[in-house]
Every structure is written in structure tokens, then in C-alpha cells.
Amino acid sequence: MSSHHIVRDDQEPALIIANGASCSFELLGQLLEWSPIVVVLDSAMERVLQLDIKVDVLLGDFDGDFNPEIYKEKQYPLEIVHTPNQDKTDLEKALDYLVEKGHKAVNIVWATGKRADHTITNITNIIRYRNKLKIVILDDHSKIFLLPNRFEKWYTANTPISLIPIGKVSGITTKNLFYPLQNEELTMGYRTGSSNHVTKDGIVSITHLEGDLLLMECLD
């Protein structure tokens, strides 16, 4: 895996590597190529080093016998950020770090798949930080992001798409989805828009009036 220092434009999304299930080299390489900064959580550092990735920031609470100083020479220049606050997860602390540094968007990988509690918490952080960062969580099977009240994007026919409400979302109307919604309501735990798909090549339109609605572009 090559260094990510091919393109360094601060307008591009930062990249956080968490410590869930790994993604493919192909996906990780695509994200690294465009990331102006790579932040790695301490629990994932050894796994990341095995992929020969240049890390910009190593962040975490450094519990136990973890010694961040041993990475300084091999990853020079490396910023080490100690975040001992136990009231937040390391991923939340990494998001706080990016907000403080003025970043507007971030892609997150290795944030799903290992533990269900971590996965759910990581996904709902998209809502928690909605006014601070544009967050996209990616793995080999899904791309997850928060929808604005009006959303349009071109998709190929049969692309799997799921609409997942966080809480209750009202006034949802869709176009070019196989199971359409017309000014309808979705509520977590009662009715969601899981396992829909695009009807034909072209623009998919999704609007909603109130609530937080996640879109998951899925690959089987």
C-alpha cells in the first residue's frame, strides 16, 4: 500500500481508520489517494502498519502498555494525540480533533463489522456530528451517509439502496426506487426503507420534511 500523499487538498475529506473489520486494499487505496490527512486510532495502529500506510495522526487513550513513541521514527512526521477522556469513544475523539483543526468532511473505514455495539454507535455518530462534519462510513459492502432534505443522484438500475431513519422521519417522497414512498413516514424499530433498489438507470430523488434519514448504498 503506497503513501496517501498523492493529492493533498484540504477541501478533500480526511480519513479516519478505526478498529473494526478491515476493508479491501482497493477501497482503502482509493480513499488514501485523496485524503489530506490520515488519522488512525491507537487500537488499529499495528494493523495499519502492516499495510505500509503513512499515518499523519495517531490518536487514542493509549491504555495499558501502549507506547505511541515507538512509531515516531518510522512514521515521521507523526502527530501523537493523547485523548484520555473516557466519556467518549476514540472515534468520537478523532472526529472532535478534525473539527478543531477545521476539517469539513471525513471518510471513515474499519468502523463496522466486528462488534454490533461499536457499529451502531459509529453509525449514529453521523447524526451527532451532523452540524460539524460531513461523515461517510464505508466498508466493502456499504456506503452510509446522512441525507439532506432534498437529494438527487444518478444510479444504475438495480443498485441496492436502504433508507434508515434515526428515530422518526416524516414526509418522505422518492422517485426511481422500486418501492416508492409518497409523503410517508419511517420509524426506527417499526418501519424502515431497507433493501430497496433503483428501478432504472437515471436520477434517484429522495426528499423528506423532518427527521434524520440515512442512505446506505449497498453491495451484496
Q: Do β-strands 184-187 and 134-138 pair in parallel, antiparallel, or remain unpaired?
A: unpaired
Residue 10 has pLDDT above 70, yes or no: no
Q: Which of 41, 27, 47 is nearest to 96 (CA)?
A: 41
Residue 156 has a pLDDT of 97
Longest CA pairwise span in the chain (Å) = 58
Beta-bridge partners for 165: 213
Contacts of 84 (CB under 8 A, 6+ apart): 61, 62
Residue 15 has pLDDT above 90, yes or no: yes
The amino acid at residue 73 is E
Residue 2 has a pLDDT of 47
Instruction: Give the lowest-confidence range in 63-67, 160-164, 179-183.
Output: 63-67
The amino acid at residue 85 is N
Residue 4 has a pLDDT of 54
Rg (CA), the chain: 18
Residue 168 has pLDDT above 90, yes or no: yes
Cβ distance 81 to 59 under 8 Å? Answer: yes
pLDDT in tens, 78-135: 999 999 888 899 999 999 999 999 999 999 999 999 889 999 999 999 999 999 999 9
pLDDT in tens, 36-83: 999 999 999 999 999 999 999 999 999 878 888 899 888 989 999 999
Strand (E) or helix (H) holding 122? helix 116-128
Predicted TM-score of the model (pTM)? 0.92
Mean pLDDT, residues 167-179? 98
Residue 181 has pLDDT above 60, yes or no: yes
Mean pLDDT, residues 174-198? 97
Q: Round the average pLDDT of the chain to a whole number and report it.
A: 93
Residue 220 has pLDDT above 80, yes or no: no
